[in-house]
Amino acid sequence: MTNKKRIATCWLDGCSGCHMSFLDMDELLLELGDRLELVYSPLVDRKEFPDGVDLALLEGAVSTRDDAAKARLVRSRSRLVAAVGDCAVTGNVPGMRNRLDNGELLELVYGRPGDDQPGPPTVDVPPLLPQCLPLHREIEVDVFLPGCPPPASGFVRLLEAVLEGRDLTELPTLKFG
Amino acid sequence: MSGGRVITLTIDDRDCGAREEQTILEVARENGIFIPTLCHLGGLHPVGACRICIVDVEGIARPQPACVTRPVEGMRVATDSPGLRRQRRLILELMLAEGNHVCSVCVVNGHCELQELALQLGVDHLELPALYPRREVDASHPRFSLDRNRCVLCTRCVRVCSEIEGAHTWDVMGRGLASTVISDLNQPWGEAESCTTCGKCVQVCPTGALFDKGKAPGEMRKRHSFLPLLTAMREEE
């Protein structure tokens, strides 16, 4: 029915700040809305990641098996995958646990079970992987958009490049941190 | 000065005049040719610690660090090529992978020479797996802190403390991945008797490894404009 580009966003181990920055495109979102369709995102109400996505923007690092499975699913159903934000690109703050022992860390945060403390959660949240990894250690990534968060202008440039079918390797990096 | 003998060389196919005591980096800069640097800082002796300033010299198989290579009559230097760019990026990646450079929680975020270099060289992610080493933070000094996670061993702090302040509180201990900056005889900085608390090391540090206490992420700006002035004034004396 349409030749709009199909865009998806997904949120792994991050703080949602990159999605906030995506929304910071403000009125440009309306203009882009004529040319692209947001087919899956925490910002829209769709439960299953669809097939045939042109560009998937992934925020956050890979910290659990659940994150890894999501990342692989997104990769298998998307033509282009962008690692969005420092967490997806480098591991950033979630990756700071990599030099610590997971067990010690969880005890430090949640207490030791039994000592009047709940202890680390065992239901509803997936267990941590031994290391928190940048996205490209789990799946192939086509373009990197670092920044904590990446500026809204970075999203604009990326989306416009995809809409116009330009070479993504030519996109300049705007900032880290 | 060695009699001011003039040497002619070409840098990027441009004829340049140089004095023999100069370095290729100095001659390039005089001629408006940009070579990226990290450990180099005007006013301190160059040491070639980081190798970011490598250039190709015709007839020499391996790239040479411009900051410590002297010009020779008839030398042909190339400062930019796809190969050099790739090598510089790899050197920077090795530095980044070897430490814990988390910009978003760093005091110099947005004013960091290492961050700026990554943008300049187009390092937008690491091809190499990061090591996430366990490195110590020394917050024993009343005014300053050292976060070794952010140190790239450029030795600017070592050089400014020794050459300008004359205290030589800082030095480097260990080899390879175990190399680390130490104060006095590997004592906590706060107990290092030779430290005069002048803060020059903090100001010349290109990253957030040395910083003023009480600064939040992004709040610390380094100022090292004093350095060439100090050196110039001492040369006049």
| Average pLDDT of span B191-197 | 98
Question: Do B71 and B27 touch, CB atoms closer than 8 A?
Answer: yes
Phi, psi of B124 (to 5 degrees): -100, -5
Instruction: Dump pLDDT digits (tens) for A4-21.
Output: 999 999 999 999 999 999
Mean pLDDT for A51-73 is: 97
pLDDT in tens, B124-156: 999 999 999 999 999 999 999 999 999 999 999
B6-80 adopts what CATH topology? Ubiquitin-like (UB roll) (3.10.20)
Cα of A54 to nearest chain B Cα, Å: 22
* B133/A contact by beta carbon, under 8 A: yes
State residue B217's pLDDT score: 93
Q: How confident is the model at residue B230 (pLDDT cuts 50, 70, 90)?
A: confident
In this structure, what are the phi and psi dihedrals at residue B150, rounded to the nearest 5 degrees?
-105, 5
Q: How confident is the model at residue B236 (pLDDT cuts 50, 70, 90)?
A: confident
pTM here is 0.93
Residue B104 has its nearest CB partner, among A83, A93, A99, at A93
pLDDT band (50, 70, 90) for residue A173: confident
Among A137, A173, A177, the residue with its CB nearest the CB of B104 is A177
**DSSP structure class, residue B53:** T
The pLDDT of residue B3: 58
Q: How confident is the model at residue B1 (pLDDT cuts 50, 70, 90)?
A: very low
Q: With contacts defined as CB-CB under 8 Å, which chain A residues touch B219?
A: none
Contact assessment for residue B54 and residue B169, using Cβ atoms and an 8 Å cutoff: no
Encode pLDDT of A81-135 as tens digits. 999 999 999 999 999 999 999 988 998 888 887 778 888 888 898 999 999 999 9
A interface with B, Cβ–Cβ < 8 A, is 83, 86, 89-93, 95-96, 98-99, 131, 134, 136-137, 141, 144, 146, 148, 173-177
Token pair in block for residue A2: 């349409």
Q: Do domains B6-80 and B87-223 have the same CATH topology?
A: no
Domain A5-95+128-170 classification at class level: alpha beta
Average pLDDT in the B200-211 region?
A: 98
Chain B hits for A138, Cβ within 8 Å: none
The Cα of B86 is separated from the nearest Cα of chain A by a number of Å equal to: 15
pLDDT above 50 for A45: yes
Residues of chain B positioned with their CB less than 8 A from the CB of A89: 124-125
Alpha helix segments (H runs only) across chain B: 24-30, 82-98, 113-121, 156-159, 200-204, 226-236
Class level of CATH domain B87-223: alpha beta
Element (H, E) at A73: helix A65-77
